[in-house]
């Protein structure tokens, strides 16, 4: 026996080393045909592919990613017509390899602008640095250059972020609105659609979640107008920066999703977190976490029940790295994983809703039997294809991922000598983007 130990180690090691023994949100999300995503911040670029908790939590749970800051204007075009693609390239390459989509955030916003643009305002008022014509060509160049580079790599774009004032239902007088005029909004969508006709294009804002609110209704009316002018817009992004005990109106959100659906538009959840008052958390953390889990459960249920809400993204995933305590210091604990990357009750409430839903939709079995051949040998499963496989994952029926390979080859060997006799699910993402699922 002793002499077989190294061999045994060699066979079992890949399963343990690459194994994802935790549950996986994206396993069920893929079955339900919904995108579950997270924002990733600066730490992502130090952690990816390290196999550490940060990396594995992202890899295992999310099928769409968005950069928290790294694809904003100041990061991507720090000086006029001089672009920095480094981080966006890293994020899109990682997403491609691991079979995830990317949301681009964002192309036009009043905030996080580089000084060469924000210098065009003095005390918030346009100071004549730019004419309408020059600012239009700057904006068009920014959108066209970035979107063209990421065709097929970024599937959704926040073309326009936060164009509405907090109150009054009016348009924010950003530099774009002041120098170009209100028609900058139609223009950015037209330029974006020309740059990448395959991308989904969104107008994204906060405080617009609940039907009946002044800002929510203003956005709905504005977007209806865009639709009637045939502006190419896919839908709206509802940021959903929520508080556990406060601004949470399920029926208002449901009504909002439905009225956008009636216009033929998506209404998706783009920056969700459910923050908790620190003093409430200290008083009774169990109660707060369970209330938070119920908020998250109701929100994912709304998306599952509304056909135009098939993207559900949180603004970060671990309480270790969240913008909330920096932005609103009285609050924290807003995300799905705690500071040790342990899943919180909110995580399990989402997982459970997805698992229940996936029973309804069922699993599509392989339909192109000739594309992939699976052989079960004594101690391994051999997967063979004419095309190269970008990512190969093996799951058990509970959705635990037992093996993953991202070797980009046409033959994958999965050690199987410690697998029980049971039903397993093989999921392949081919290099050509096709997803193949086989139960055996």
**Beta pairing partners, 268:** 237
Phi, psi (degrees; rounded to nearest 5) at 439: -100, 135
- 271 touches ligand XIL by CB under 6 A: yes
Any idea of the CA torsion for 158, 46, 434, 144, to the nearest 10 degrees? 30
CB-nearer residue toward ligand XIL: 206 or 348: 206
Report the alpha-carbon distance of residue 266 to residue 306 in Å, rounded.
10
User: What sign for the dihedral angle of Cα 110, 114, 120, 125?
Assistant: positive
Q: To the nearest whole angstrom, how small is the minimum distance from the Cβ of residue 73 to ligand XIL?
A: 11
- 98 touches ligand XIL by CB under 6 A: no
- 273 touches ligand XIL by CB under 6 A: no
Q: To the nearest whole angstrom, how small is the minimum distance from the Cβ of residue 265 to ligand XIL?
A: 19
Any idea of the CA torsion for 45, 56, 64, 40, to the nearest 10 degrees? -30
Report the alpha-carbon distance of residue 204 to residue 206 in Å, rounded.
7
Q: Which of 68, 70, 77, 162 is catalytic?
A: 162
CB-nearer residue toward ligand XIL: 272 or 302: 272
Active site residue 266: no
CB-nearer residue toward ligand XIL: 323 or 348: 323
Active site residue 271: yes
CB-nearer residue toward ligand XIL: 69 or 165: 69
Among the listed residues 18, 323, 341, 348, the single contact to ligand XIL using CB under 6 A: 323
CB-nearer residue toward ligand XIL: 314 or 349: 314
Among the listed residues 239, 306, 314, 385, the single contact to ligand XIL using CB under 6 A: 239
Q: To the nearest whole angstrom, how small is the minimum distance from the Cβ of residue 67 to ligand XIL?
A: 9
- 328 touches ligand XIL by CB under 6 A: no
Question: Alpha helix locations (H) across 19-131?
Answer: 25-32, 44-47, 53-61, 73-76, 86-97, 115-118
Q: To the nearest whole angstrom, how small is the minimum distance from the Cβ of residue 270 to ligand XIL?
A: 8
Report the alpha-carbon distance of residue 280 to residue 245 in Å, rounded.
10
Report the alpha-carbon distance of residue 403 to residue 78 in Å, rounded.
41
Q: To the nearest whole angstrom, how small is the minimum distance from the Cβ of residue 271 to ligand XIL?
A: 6
The SS3 of residue 275 is strand
Report the alpha-carbon distance of residue 150 to residue 370 in Å, rounded.
32
Tokens describing residue 180: 């170009």
Report the alpha-carbon distance of residue 108 to residue 338 in Å, rounded.
33
Tokens describing residue 91: 């994020």
- 332 touches ligand XIL by CB under 6 A: no
Report the alpha-carbon distance of residue 103 to residue 65 in Å, rounded.
6
Determine the residue with CB nearest ligand XIL.
323
- 314 touches ligand XIL by CB under 6 A: no
Q: Which of 70, 77, 209, 271 is catalytic?
A: 271
| Residues tagged active-site | 162, 271
Return residues touching ligand XIL (CB under 6 A).
68-69, 161, 239, 271, 323
């Amino acid at each position: 026996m002793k002499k077989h130990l190294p061999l045994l180690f060699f066979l079992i090691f890949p399963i343990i080393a690459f194994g994802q023994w935790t549950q996986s949100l994206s396993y069920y999300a893929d079955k339900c045909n919904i995108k579950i995503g997270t924002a990733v911040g600066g730490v992502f670029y130090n952690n990816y592919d390290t196999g550490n908790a940060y990396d594995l939590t992202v890899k295992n749970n999310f099928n769409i990613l968005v950069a928290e800051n790294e694809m904003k204007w100041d990061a991507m075009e720090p000086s006029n017509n001089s672009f920095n693609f480094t981080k966006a390239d890293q994020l899109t390459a990682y997403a491609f390899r691991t079979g995830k989509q990317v949301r681009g955030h964002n192309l036009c916003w009043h905030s996080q602008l580089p000084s060469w643009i924000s210098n065009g305002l003095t005390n918030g008022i346009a100071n004549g640095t730019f004419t309408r014509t020059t600012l239009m060509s700057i904006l068009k160049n920014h959108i066209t250059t970035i979107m063209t580079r990421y065709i097929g790599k970024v599937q959704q774009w926040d073309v326009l972020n936060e164009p509405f004032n907090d109150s009054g239902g009016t348009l924010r007088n950003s530099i774009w609105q002041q120098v170009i005029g209100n028609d900058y909004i139609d223009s950015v969508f037209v330029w974006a659609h020309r740059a990448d006709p395959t991308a989904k294009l969104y107008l994204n804002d906060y405080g617009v979640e609940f039907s009946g609110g002044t800002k929510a209704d203003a956005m709905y009316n504005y977007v209806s107008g865009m639709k009637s002018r045939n502006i190419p817009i896919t839908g709206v992004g509802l940021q959903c920066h929520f508080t556990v005990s406060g601004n949470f109106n399920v029926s208002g959100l449901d009504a909002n999703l439905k009225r956008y659906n009636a216009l033929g538009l998506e209404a998706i959840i783009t920056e969700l977190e459910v923050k908790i008052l620190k003093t409430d958390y200290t008083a009774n953390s169990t109660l707060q976490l369970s209330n938070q889990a119920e908020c998250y459960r109701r929100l994912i249920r709304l998306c599952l029940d509304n056909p135009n809400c098939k993207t559900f993204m949180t603004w970060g995933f671990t309480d270790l790295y969240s913008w909330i305590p920096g932005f609103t210091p009285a609050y924290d604990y807003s995300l799905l994983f705690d500071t040790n990357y342990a899943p919180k009750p909110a995580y399990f409430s989402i997982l459970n809703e997805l698992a229940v839903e996936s029973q309804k939709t069922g699993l599509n079995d392989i339909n192109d039997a000739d594309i992939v051949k699976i052989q079960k040998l004594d101690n391994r499963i051999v997967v063979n294809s004419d095309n190269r496989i970008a990512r190969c994952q093996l799951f058990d029926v509970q959705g635990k991922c037992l093996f993953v390979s991202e070797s980009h080859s046409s033959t994958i060997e999965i050690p199987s000598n410690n697998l029980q006799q049971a039903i397993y699910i093989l999921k392949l993402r081919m290099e050509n983007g096709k997803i193949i699922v086989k139960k055996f």
